[in-house]
Structure 1
Amino acid sequence: MSPDYVARGGLPAQTELTTDRAVFTEAYAVLPRRTMSDITTSFLPHWDKTRLWVIARPLSGFAETFSQYIVEVSPGGGSDQPEDESAAESVLFVVDGALDLSLKRASHALTAGSYVFLPPGADWTLHNSSDATATFHWIRKRYQQVDGVEVPDAFVTHEQDVEAIAMPDTDGAWTTTRFVEIADLRHDMHVNIVTFQPGGAIPFPETHVMEHGLYVLEGKAVYLLNKDWVEVQEGDFMWLRAFCPQACYAGGPGRFRYLLYKDVNRHARL
């Protein structure tokens, strides 16, 4: 069974406190897992028996380069026309259940931990032929084409088949599972999994040009966002504006893992 957190929806009880950790600022936003309720779901054309939580979208003062969905597909659900923007590239990351992917008319059985990269214009369909609900993350970005640089190929892999790389001088306390080589300039976004063992830390405030989306798959930590230390747990989503200072301390008792989006490898648009 996957250790990754799976949103289930529902509604908080009438007796629960309204106060929560949700915050939206000019530099960052935190969407706690409790905000993924039945009344915050959305639906998409050409998707049957499917609902989703939109946790990031291009918006003035918010995400500029990407959208991110948590997609829940009921048995018998799915789509033969999943994407309606020809310039959009995507990453799918499955956290629960089983899905049938058709990609260039080849079939792929997806399970928890499966990772799919889809270039713009990819020919794909996705269906749930099992008797249980399936859930996946869907990250989309408008691909920035560059003269002389090929568009990357589609691929399907699994988290277990990709070796996590330890950050220098951390003795494995901080690792990154990279599904794309960082020097592969065909790619203009990276979607990785970052893992901290208890006590692992980002020991300085990172401040850099990449926009970030972080969905916590497992565990809890204290995260520095701009000037604020924020406690986060599995199921929470964080958006960080470009140049927003960030750091992290994973206090345990278990490991802390998140799915990380960032835009890379392109000139700044002028």
Structure 2
Amino acid sequence: MVIAGSAHANVVAVVHALMEFHYLAQAPAITEEGCEKIAAALAEFHHYKHAIIDRGLRQGDQSGLVLEHWEIPKLELLQSVVPSIPQVGSVLQWSADTTEHAHIEVVKDPASRTNNKDYSSQICCRLDCVEKCQMFDTAVCLCRATVVGFSSSAIEHDKDQSDREVGYAADDADEAGEAILNDLWALKQSPSDFFNITAKYVASTAPSSSPLHTFMCGSTAFHLNLCPSLRHLSVDSATEKFAIPDLHSALGDFLALHSCHGRRI
């Protein structure tokens, strides 16, 4: 997108600073110099951002009215990016998928059904209604399971069944009820247990045809991407690209070690 020449210089500076901030913050490895550049880009954005409001470019999505403030939560969040990098590392390694999905379900979707007034009360009312509908569906499903023959009271009135059969039928009713509740309320996808996956790899005696991409070190589990961005790279290119001058000798030692143990690579 080219806006130079068609927009005011200060507006261009605002857009440039914000884009520069996003690009720099997405780096896989960030040094102290990188942190300084990120902070400088954010400072430049705040220095020129008044140009957006001065020219009436910040407007409401639905009202179309000019907004004369920068009360945006995500902009507030940008202030904590640089201070957090020395503590937790590059922000690229973290994912907000879970919280973003929850934000869509419990905030965005209910808010879209409001009249854009009193968001908090209307969202809570909507969520309460959804929960009541879920409870009603649960009760209906359990009732249907009872009607088709899993009711313990109906079983007790059947004089042809023995006490043992009654007990088995009651157990079946409990299992059917649990199955219904699990189907309605249980998580559709469970999180991956990389510690358990690593333990299975370690316990397995079958030789692996490729390097393990899931492993554990102490109390930390690592899961590497199966589809690397660099699929084919010569040793010389890797030595130069990643600044590993002793890569040749290290690979030689590695091959010699595995040759001694008779393992195929």
Query: With structure 1 as the length reference, what TM-score do the two structures score?
Result: 0.19
Relative contact order (alpha carbons < 8 A, sep ≥ 6): 1 or 2 greater? 1
Point out the structure with the larger helix share: 2
Point out the structure with the larger strand share: 1
Query: With structure 2 as the length reference, what TM-score do the two structures score?
Result: 0.19
Give the number of the structure whose alpha-carbon radius of gyration is greater: 2
